[in-house]
Structure 1
């Protein structure tokens, strides 16, 4: 059976610019995406939970119901440096992963 393809693009920004964000599919690390970069991942057909992580910060899960041979896209955005304190206090999201 043909896999689906998921492309995750990380928006460029100053916050975390020297760090890669780990990409996890169903809790397993499958790669990492750098600042202003993209990663393409082969995903088996079926439902999967996609998350990204950088140190102690994790994005909200993105649920993907992958169909064979289909291409999907998502964007990863880190909060600005000005929003760091609210993110640390849990009042704002540090990482946002959304389907495109």
Structure 2
């Protein structure tokens, strides 16, 4: 048996999955895109140092960065959607 949440919690806690995702997405997106933005250029620099000829690695590095960012944002969106569904289950009727 689920007891209704106190009125104070209902005002603070997002009551829909969309509100939950909107509240959390920016934080996680900045964090992971920042990590990727540091990691991919570092890996590209190692490749350029190992194989030389930086021109051959610039466009693939930019493409890898964009692909990794898109993949990370999709995973964050899907994970937050599931988390929002789980988090807001007590507010659904």
Q: Do they fold alike, i.e. is TM over 0.5?
A: no
Structure whose alpha-carbon radius of gyration is higher: 2
Query: TM-score, normalized by length of structure 1?
Result: 0.26
Query: TM-score, normalized by length of structure 2?
Result: 0.27
Q: In proportion to residue count, which structure has more strand?
A: 1
Query: Higher relative contact order by CA 8 Å / sep ≥ 6: 1 or 2?
Result: 2
Q: In proportion to residue count, which structure has more helix?
A: 2
